[in-house]
Structures are given as structure tokens and as C-alpha cells.
Chains A and B, each alone.
Chain A
Amino acid sequence: MEPIKEYTIKAPGKFQLNLSELKQYHELLYFFTWRDIKIKYKQTALGFLWAVLQPLLIAGILAFVLGNRNSGFINNFLPFYAGVMVWNIFASGINNAGNSMVSNANIIKKIYFPRLLLPLSSLAGTLFDFTMSIPILVAVCMLSPTEINIAQVLCTFPMAVITMLYAATGPALLLSALNVKYRDFRYVIPFLLQLLLFASPLFIKTINIPTHLKPILNINPAALGIQWAQAGFGGELPSSMELISGYCTYALFLIIGIYYFKKTEHNFADLA
């Protein structure tokens, strides 16, 4: 039996991250993620296929509409597909995490656990859809008429995933906490995501933009991740200025997100 720890319950005091507690509850994080994945495709005829179909269709449409007429369809399709794959991590991560407190209100009101687990598990859950769409990427790569630098893709693509998770965490925490108090954010989130999508490298061709303005685009938390994802498939690598501006902005989002979440989390049970 583990030694009995003494602890104190008192009025919320100063800011504390309490990472050790989060570690203690890692199994619950796993179960929340597992539950979200399990129930996502229950009672659907196509099941997991949806995770594959969705990015496939969107990337197909984007490649058809926005692609370069002179290069072949597959050459157009690959960067869009790669971009949509990581964009989905960001978009569904923020969307699910943003609503996680409200949709789990019944649990929050009845039992204690670190509230951070809920948005974090929503983010982790998006990796499942992502993983499901990898085989298509591999298949299309093999069909590609132009040579693909596999070594580069193996470097940039994981970088894209890590960047996306890193960039999404701050906004996800902030929005999930705000949504508890101001239900307006239920409507703000989809709208915001649409805006960010249109302002992302998926729609804006970075080549057409003057170099000194590029870092501004990276205020969009989804920008760098998509850039990394496309880099292995004909896109250009982000410049050091872009990297600095991007990662600094995301760090700021992360700090604001964690701070606001932690500051308000003790009220969640009363407000949710």
C-alpha cells in the first residue's frame, strides 16, 4: 500500500501548475482519450473510414480548385493532403477541447480530477484520425511521378505534428476555460477555425508574399505546422524568422492558455 499523503483543501490561492498530479492521473488521461475515440465512430456504417475519407476529399477539392494547372493532379494533391492532415489535428483538437468542459459537465460536477485532462485528452484523440490517414499519404507518395525526398519528409512531417500540438494546446486550453463561463465560445470556435484556415498556407501561397511580411502570417497558430507538413512535398521550408516569430507567438498562447485555465478551473464545477 502506498504511504498516506497528507494534503490540504483550501480556498484557491496562488497559481500552481501541479504537474506531479497530472502525472499521477495519466491513466485517466488515457481512458478519456480512449473513450473519445471509441464513441466517435459508434453507430456509423463507414466507421473509421470517415477519418480517412474526410481529409482525402477536402485535399482533393483543394488540389482541384487551387492547384497549379501545369503540374499533375498528384503533385498538387500531396501538399494539400499533408497540410489538411495536420490542419485536422489543430482544428478538431481545438474544437473538441473547446467543448470538452461543457460536454463533460456531468462528470466535472460529480468527481475530482485535474481538469486539464479533458482538453488534453481531446488533443491526444485527434492523433488517432491522423494516424488513420497516414496509409493514404504513403500510397499517394508511391504513386507520385516526381521523386520524393523521404529523408526530408521523415524529418519535417513529425516536426509538423509536434508543432501543431504545441500550437493548439494554448488556444485549446484558453477556449475550453472561456467556454465554461461564456457559452458564446461555442459559436466563436467554428468561426475562428474557419478564419484561421483561410489565413493558413493551405489557402495563401506563401511564395506570393513579400519576405518581410511572412512572419506576420505565423501569428496564425496553424501556419507553421502546415508549412512543415508541406515542406517535404514541394513546399518551402520555413525561414528562421518565421520559426522565431511563430514559436514565440505559440509560447505566448500556451502561457496565456495555461494561466487562464488554471486560474478559473476551480469554478468549473459551479459554472459548467
Chain B
Amino acid sequence: MKPILEIQNISKTFRINHEQTPYLSMRDAVSGIFKSSATEVETFYALRDISFSVQQGDTIGIVGKNGAGKSTLLKILSRITPPTAGQIKVRGRIASLLEVGTGFHPELTGRENIFMNGSILGMKRSEINSKFDQIVEFSGTGKFLDTPLKHYSSGMQLRLAFSVAAFLEPEILIIDEVLAVGDVEFQQRCMGKMEDVSKSGRTILFVSHNMGAVQALCKNSIYLQQGQLKMQGPTGQIIQTYLNDQPRACNTIRTADAVKRCAVLQVEKTMQNEQFAEVTVRIHSISSMACALDLRLSSIDLTPAGFGSLGTFNPKEKVQLQPGDNIVQFRIPTSTLANGLYYMSIDLTEPDKEYYDRAEQALLLEIANQPIVATGRVLQLDWKYGTQQIQIQKL
């Protein structure tokens, strides 16, 4: 069977006019006739030569950093903006959810907005009529159907918006980060609904920064980097590559402080997989000495999540430092951490006596492990365990 989506050599460029405002005014256009093009025009590739195809029933995750071209790709697929080169063969009806509640108007009532939004999303009036009761029930806003939307709480607006979208029945559904909004309960409901949709044999393209959600929903993924298709394949591998690429920007590089006897210069994650993360620490020392290396993990809101040490609990494990730069490598297990982002801080101490150095939030660690459903341990959400001891395995 032919793929439902064939993306062939898609590129999208924008011209960046340096020294000019993005809004053209008539005056600029008229004066531009007389001016030789003194302004520098740079061609920027938002997407460069992207090709892949999607089979019917696939759920494809699209991952990549901000600015990698994910949203541009979705906009091209949704026909909002055309590609500069290349073509896409589409064999089905596409509905795109680049935001929830497109076309909602605050002055219209809930009932009217359901029809407006449904129609904008591509539903026929008869279709909306037949699903109207289900939509209302799913949204739980039945009491306020004839109240103008502006009197709704933002949560209610969101629920109503998602409910309309949830009853779309296209062959291809394109979703951009809509799950990033709303509370935990809402997000779970969205995820549940999307799983239903994908089980019913429809094709989903899903962009998210939430690796847990991508992992849970998508079997295959593509990884965009600076407008180019870096990799495509099973989601697990893609996320691994993505995570290995990503946190380098957050790594600490510091300069040695002459007064300190030893200092953390650099913390870098050298590898990560589902079981462990491998961290390399460069430590500068002014003399030959032994110190304890303590490691603290905190969640992104700085709640402590774990503590581990080489040397504090067992003096034999202390790190031996030589004068000059030393490299210390170790592994920490990550399979017991809830999915989410963690900061890693590293301290060099003489236990119970003195802190030599503290490198706060030296590394950003993202955990996006496949939920282990078989044993009933589903760690998808950012659920805090409280602090736990981390077993550090020195390499």
C-alpha cells in the first residue's frame, strides 16, 4: 500500500532582510525602488531537504530543539504556508491542531463556539450536530453552553476547545505541542484520547518537547536539527540521540579559582541510556589529595530528588586527585527516576570538615524512559519520589 504521506525533498527558506522591519510599509516599498538593494538579504533555511514517508496508522513523533523546524514542517503539512521547494503527496484528509480553540470568539456562547471551531477544523455541520452532545459531555461545560465564552475560566475554555478537537475524524491528525497547556488531569485525558485515536488506525504526527509523551505515544520518530532531518527510526533510539545531543549547552565550564585547593571545572554527560547516565567531571587540583565527590539531583523547580557520593559514606571511595586537571568518570542509575528534567550539582568536600567547591546545577539531565507497563510501574509523569540515594558507580 502506498504511504499516506510522502514528504519529498521539502525545503522552506525565509529571506532575512537585515536592517529592515518585518512590516513593509508603502513608503519602504516606494523608496526601495530608488534605493539600490543596500540592505543585506540573507536566505535562511527553516527546513532543508526533508524527506520521509508515513504509513497509514503510524504515529510519528517529531522531536528537536526550538528552532529546529518542527513547527514549520507542521505548517507546511497543514497547508498554512507553502514549501519553497519539494512536494508532499497526501492521501487522506488532514486535520491540524496547531493550537486548541482556533477561531474561538469570546463574545460567542459555548454552543456557538463549538460550531464555529468545529467548522474551522473541517467538520461538516451535520457532523457537528450529530456529535454535539458527546462534545458537550466530554467537555463538562454543559451548564454554561449559552454563556458567552468570555465568562468561562481559562480551564473551561481549554476543555471545550479540546473536546471539539477530540471528535475530529480525519485520516491524518497533526498535533503541535497542544498538550503543553492545561493541568495534569487534562494532559492525561488528552494523552488517553490520542491513544484511542491512534488505535483506531488513524495517522498521527505529534510534536512535543515532552519526551515522555512522545515515548508513550509514538512508535517511530524523526529528529530534526537545524532544519535538517538528522535521524528517523524507533522512538527509543531517536530520543536517546536527541538527549545525548541536547544538554551540552547546559554543561558547566568553569575556570579554576586559585584559592581553592580543588575545583570542578567541567561537568559533561558523555552518555545516557535507559539504565544509566554517564558523567565526566574535570577537576582541577593544586596538590595531590583525596576528596569526596558528592552529587545532588534536584528537579527543575529545585526540589531535592536524590543524593549520592563517592567518599562521604565510604572513605575508601574517595577520589584521588593529582596536581593539575583530573578526569573522573562515573555512572548513575536512571531507571528509578521519574521522567522529567533534573539538575545535577556536584560538590567536592572533605566529609564533615570542609567544602572545597560546589558546582550548582552543573548539568541538565532529562529522563524519558519507556514506561514499564508489565510490572505496573508507569513512570510517565513528573512525580516526585522524594529524595533517594543514588548509587554512583565509578568508572
A106-B102, A107-B102 known; A10-B83 Cβ under 8 A = yes
Residues 6-29 of A contacting B (Cβ, < 8 Å):
6-12, 27-28
Contact across chains for A270 and B81 when beta carbons are under 8 A apart:
yes
Interface extent on B, as a size class? 35 or more
Decide yes or no whether B23 CB sits under 8 A from chain A: yes
Contact across chains for B88 and A42 when beta carbons are under 8 A apart:
no
In the docked arrangement, what's the CA distance between A40 and B119, Å?
20
Contact with A along B59-76 (1 / 0, CB 8 A): 000000000000000011
**Min CB–CB distance B248 → chain A (angstroms):** 32
Contact across chains for B116 and A35 when beta carbons are under 8 A apart:
yes
Contact across chains for A266 and B107 when beta carbons are under 8 A apart:
no
Taking a contact as CB atoms closer than 8 A, the residue among B27, B102, B105 that contacts A110 in the complex is B102
Contact across chains for A9 and B87 when beta carbons are under 8 A apart:
yes
Contact across chains for A6 and B107 when beta carbons are under 8 A apart:
no
Decide yes or no whether A184 CB sits under 8 A from chain B: yes
**Min CB–CB distance A39 → chain B (angstroms):** 5
Tell me the count of chain A residues lying within 8 A, CB to CB, of chain B.
32
**Min CB–CB distance B152 → chain A (angstroms):** 15
Taking a contact as CB atoms closer than 8 A, the residue among A6, A9, A31, A184 that contacts B79 in the complex is A9
Residues 176-192 of A contacting B (Cβ, < 8 Å):
181-184
A4-B171, A39-B107 known; A9-B76 Cβ under 8 A = yes
Contact across chains for B89 and A6 when beta carbons are under 8 A apart:
yes
In the docked arrangement, what's the CA distance between A269 and B99, Å?
15
Contact across chains for B91 and A6 when beta carbons are under 8 A apart:
yes
Residues 201-235 of A contacting B (Cβ, < 8 Å):
none
Give A residues with C-beta under 8 Å from B.
Answer: 4-12, 27-28, 31, 35, 38-39, 42-43, 106-113, 181-184, 266, 269-270
Known: A12-B82, A107-B102. 16 other contacts (CB 8 A): A4-B92, A4-B171, A11-B83, A11-B87, A27-B125, A28-B119, A38-B107, A39-B107, A42-B107, A106-B102, A108-B80, A110-B98, A111-B98, A111-B120, A112-B78, A269-B80
Give B residues with C-beta under 8 Å from A.
Answer: 14, 23-27, 29, 75-93, 96, 98-99, 102-103, 105, 107-108, 112, 115-116, 119-121, 124-125, 148, 171
